[in-house]
A = this chain, B = another copy of it.
C-alpha cells in the first residue's frame, strides 16, 4: 500500500508498489517456478514467517480475475477460496486447490476448515475491508511503500461501520522500499 492508501494506480498497474519484491539479495522461491522474489534479509524473514503461518487464502472475484486464479496454483502453495456470486463455468484451471463460495462468511468458514489450525489470509482490499467491517479479522497486515501515488485503487474501501479500531503494530519490519506492519484488530 502506498502512503496515501492505494494498492494500484488508476489503471490497475502497481507502479512502484512492488519494487520491494526485487530489492534485496535473498532469493525467496514460491510455489510457482515463474515467480521468485529477491528481498532484503529482514523482508525475507518477515515473508517466511508470515507466509509460513498461512493455511488457506480467501480472495475476491476481482483478484481471481486479475490473476486468472493463479492458474489454479497460488504462489504460496495453499488452497484458495474465491468469494463470488457467479463461479466461472468451465474454468480451464479448475481443480481441488480452488473452491468457490457465494458469500464471505461461508468462504471464510471453508478456508478455516482447509487451514485447520493455521491462519487464513484474506485479499485483496475489497474483501479484506468487508471482513474488517464485519468484525471477522484478527489482524490487518500492510506492506507500506514509501510513495505517494496521488490517485488509484484504495486498499480500504466500503467500511460502513467504521471507524475500525486497531491496536499498536505488533510487527514493524523495515525492508527496502517497504515497511511491513501488522496491526491487531480491537474488539
A binding-site residues for B, Cβ under 8 Å: 2-5, 9, 15-16, 129, 132-133, 140, 142, 146-151, 154-156, 158-169, 172, 174, 176-177, 179, 181, 183
- Interchain Cβ contacts under 8 Å between A and B, 18 examples: A3-B156, A3-B166, A4-B5, A15-B163, A129-B148, A132-B148, A146-B166, A146-B169, A147-B164, A147-B165, A149-B163, A150-B158, A150-B161, A151-B159, A151-B162, A169-B179, A172-B174, A172-B179
Residues of B within 8 Å of A151, CB to CB, are 159, 162
Residues of B within 8 Å of A183, CB to CB, are 3, 146
A140 and B179 contact, Cβ closer than 8 Å, known pairs A16-B163, A164-B147: no
How far is A147 from B5 in the complex, measured between Cα atoms in Å?
Answer: 13
B155 touches A168 (CB 8 A): no
- Contact pick for A150, options B162, B167, B179, CB 8 Å: B162
How far is A145 from B154 in the complex, measured between Cα atoms in Å?
Answer: 17
How far is A54 from B28 in the complex, measured between Cα atoms in Å?
Answer: 43
